[in-house]
């Protein structure tokens, strides 16, 4: 079961309910809570403040127009926004049309990420997990996630066999999961 | 969690958006019918979302907030007004001319003003009503959250009452809502699991199709267990539910083990 703080989850649910009825103040509150997650991942991917601001605007406008896209019973708001922001930033980086319908993105996270303190705690553990990985494993995972490179492109860039890259990415993710579950 | 090993690496690539062509097509087809792999995909996306936290630090500039608030203020979700007909305006203008247009404009402005006042009053009433509904729903939601938290709290006392003198038997209760794919399952008095075994909940579709895996679980020391909203395909009408004893590892595409409890219908 998710270990999320029930009060924080309730707050997200209440905010989303109000946004569904067109409440602009609740939209501002949601932005204040999660804009730093969306902006920081977009900036890391795009390495350009203007382009990251465009992704930030696009993600929150998309949510304003279609707040029903997030199903509170099936996921964690912070994790969901992080994933769709990363996907949109990669689309922008590769100058392609958005690939995923945000309603189809279901993200399952057992960590509470509603407050800055929660995120900071989890971030320390993620950084610890990255340190536990081998350098090639960490590098393959970061190239795939933050640069949006396909496994074929990573294989071409590093000169490693395709199968090795696939295995490294999967093993890296399992190391991350194991470290966070411990 | 029993993920099909042949898809394990592709699932990670798919979560990253890196899988293409025939491999992507094959995996998407497999995902349609495999709930453990769909669940693994959700978990992989969750793992990746945590990776996002390593980018945390920079805050967006204040102008980004102003830009968003200005944009949502420009797009309030209010009923759209009916478009006017340019063609009709042109023919009317040609026939009557400027003086009549000025009179008509003045009348139109007055009428629009009256209309706006009425609309404003209606909107105020709607807003008051919506606020009341919102407060009421918030309160109901809090109550619902408390009920769910109590039901799912592993430390809450769960005592089953049976006829005096009878030994408690394994039993379960599945509450399933097809429309929203919501499934809550409670089991009690389950025998302790043998080594390398696990319980698995199954949904038997009403159309006679193959049973659908609806979650692996291990009971607590008192034989109680709960499964909440496992990943399920959309819109499946259920005929029955059952729990089987399965190997802890390996495929769970169809029940292979011994049935432990089986539904008796409503």
Chain B residues inside the 8 Å CB shell of A173: 12, 44, 47-48
Task: Give the residue from A85, A32, A78 showing the smallest Cα distance to B66.
Answer: A32
Q: Counting beta carbons within 10 angstroms of the beta carbon of residue B181, is it exposed (0 to 12), middle (13 to 18) or buried (19 or more)? A: middle
Of the three residues A85, A112, A139, the one that is the final residue of a domain is A112
Q: What is the pTM of this model?
A: 0.53
Tell whether A167 is within 8 A of chain B (Cβ): yes
Token code pair at residue A6:
């029930």
CB B75 within 8 A of CB B67: no
Same domain for A12 and A94?
Answer: yes
Contacts of residue B39, defined as CB under 8 A and 6 or more positions apart, other chains included, come to A108, B1, B230, B231
Do A106 and A20 share a domain, yes or no? yes
Same domain, A1 and A90: yes
Sort out which chain A residues have CB atoms less than 8 A from B47's CB and list them: 173, 176-177, 180
Chain Cα centroid distance, residue B80: 29
Domain boundary among A63, A89, A112: A112
Q: Could you read off the pLDDT of A94-113 as tens digits, one per residue?
A: 876 665 566 666 666 666 67
Question: What is the span of the domain harbouring residue A29?
Answer: 1-112
Q: Which two tokens stand for residue A32?
A: 């204040």
Architecture, CATH, for domain B171-262: Sandwich (2.60)
Task: For residues B257 and B89, give the distance between their C-alpha atoms in angstroms, rounded to a whole number.
Answer: 76
**Could you report the average pLDDT of every consecutive run of 10 residues in chain B (266 residues)?**
76 86 89 88 84 84 94 73 40 47 65 72 73 72 71 69 80 86 87 89 90 88 85 86 83 78 77
Q: Chain A 58-97, CB below 8 Å of chain B: which residues?
A: 60-61, 64-65, 73-76, 78-80, 82-83, 85-87, 90
- Facing residues of B171 across strands? B188
DSSP type of residue A100: S
Domain closes at, from A112, A144, A172? A112
**How close B96 comes to chain A (CA, Å)?**
43
Of A53, A100, A180, the CB nearest to B64: A53
- A14 and A101 share one domain: yes
Mutate which of A26, A60, A81, A175 to disrupt the B interface (most B C-beta within 10 Å)? Answer: A60
Using only C-alpha atoms, what is the Rg of chain B? 30
Cβ neighbours for B36, distance < 8 A, ≥ 6 positions apart: B1, B2, B3, B4, B213, B252
Distance from C-alpha of B169 to C-alpha of B160, rounded to nearest angstrom: 10
Angstrom distance (rounded) from CA A85 to CA B197: 40
Per-residue exposure over B129-160, b if at least 16 CB sit within 10 Å of its own CB, e if not = eeeeebeeeeeeeeeeeeeeeeeeeeeeeeee
CATH number at residue A131: 1.10.10.10
CA torsion B227-B233-B235-B237 (nearest 10°) is -60
- Pairing state between β B225-228 and B182-188: antiparallel
A99/A155 same-domain check? no
In this prediction, residue A5 carries a pLDDT of 44
Name the segment(s) of chain B with CATH classification 2.60.40.
Answer: 171-262
Q: What is the pLDDT along chain A (182 residues), one digit of tens a residue?
A: 344 444 444 477 888 888 988 899 999 999 999 999 999 999 999 999 999 999 999 999 999 998 888 876 656 788 888 888 998 999 888 876 665 566 666 666 666 676 777 778 888 888 888 888 899 999 999 999 999 898 889 999 999 999 999 999 999 988 888 887 76
Q: Do A150 and B18 touch (CB under 8 A)?
A: yes
Residues 8-37 of B with CB under 8 A from A: 8-10, 12-13, 16-18, 20
Same structural domain, A93 and A38: yes
Among B12, B53, B130, the residue with its CB nearest the CB of A21 is: B130
């Amino acid at each position: 079961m998710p270990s999320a703080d029930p009060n924080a989850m309730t707050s997200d649910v209440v905010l989303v309910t109000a946004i569904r009825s067109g409440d602009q103040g609740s939209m501002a509150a949601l932005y204040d809570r999660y804009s730093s997650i969306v902006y920081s991942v977009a900036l890391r991917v795009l390495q350009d403040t203007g382009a990251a601001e465009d992704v930030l605007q696009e993600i929150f406008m998309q949510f304003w127009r279609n707040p029903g896209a997030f199903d509170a019973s099936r996921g964690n708001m912070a994790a969901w926004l992080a994933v769709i922001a990363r996907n949109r930033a990669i689309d922008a980086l590769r100058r392609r049309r958005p690939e995923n319908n945000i309603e189809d993105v279901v993200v399952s996270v057992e960590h509470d990420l509603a407050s800055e303190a929660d995120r900071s705690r989890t971030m320390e553990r993620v950084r610890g997990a990255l340190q536990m990985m081998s350098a090639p494993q960490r590098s393959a995972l970061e190239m795939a996630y933050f640069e949006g490179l396909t496994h074929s492109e990573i294989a071409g860039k590093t000169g490693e066999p395709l199968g090795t890259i696939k295995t490294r990415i999967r093993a890296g993710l399992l190391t991350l999961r194991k470290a966070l579950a411990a | 969690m029993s993920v099909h090993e042949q898809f394990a690496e592709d699932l990670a690539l798919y979560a990253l958006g890196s899988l293409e062509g025939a491999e992507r097509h094959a995996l998407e087809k497999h995902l349609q019918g495999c709930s453990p792999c769909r669940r693994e995909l959700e978990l992989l996306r969750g793992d990746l979302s945590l990776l996002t936290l390593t980018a945390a630090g920079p805050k967006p500039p204040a102008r980004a907030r102003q830009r968003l608030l200005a944009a949502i203020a420009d797009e309030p979700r209010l009923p759209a007004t009916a478009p006017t007909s340019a063609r009709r305006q042109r023919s009317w203008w040609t026939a009557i001319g400027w003086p009549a247009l000025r009179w008509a404009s003045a009348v139109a402005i007055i009428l629009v003003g009256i209309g706006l006042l009425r609309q404003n009053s209606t909107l105020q009433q709607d807003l008051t009503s919506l606020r009341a509904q919102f407060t009421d729903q918030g309160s109901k939601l809090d109550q619902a959250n408390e009920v769910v938290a109590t039901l799912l709290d592993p430390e809450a006392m769960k005592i089953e009452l049976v006829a005096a003198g009878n030994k408690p038997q394994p039993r379960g209760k599945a509450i399933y809502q097809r429309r929203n794919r919501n499934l809550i399952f409670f089991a009690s008095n389950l025998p302790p699991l043998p080594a390398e075994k696990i319980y698995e909940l199954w949904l038997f579709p009403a159309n006679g199709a193959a049973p659908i895996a609806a979650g692996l679980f291990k009971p607590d020391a008192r034989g109680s267990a709960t499964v909440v909203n496992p990943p399920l395909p959309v819109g499946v009408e259920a005929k029955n539910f059952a729990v089987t004893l399965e190997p802890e590892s390996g495929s769970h595409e169809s029940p292979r083990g011994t049935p432990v409890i089986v539904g008796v219908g409503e």
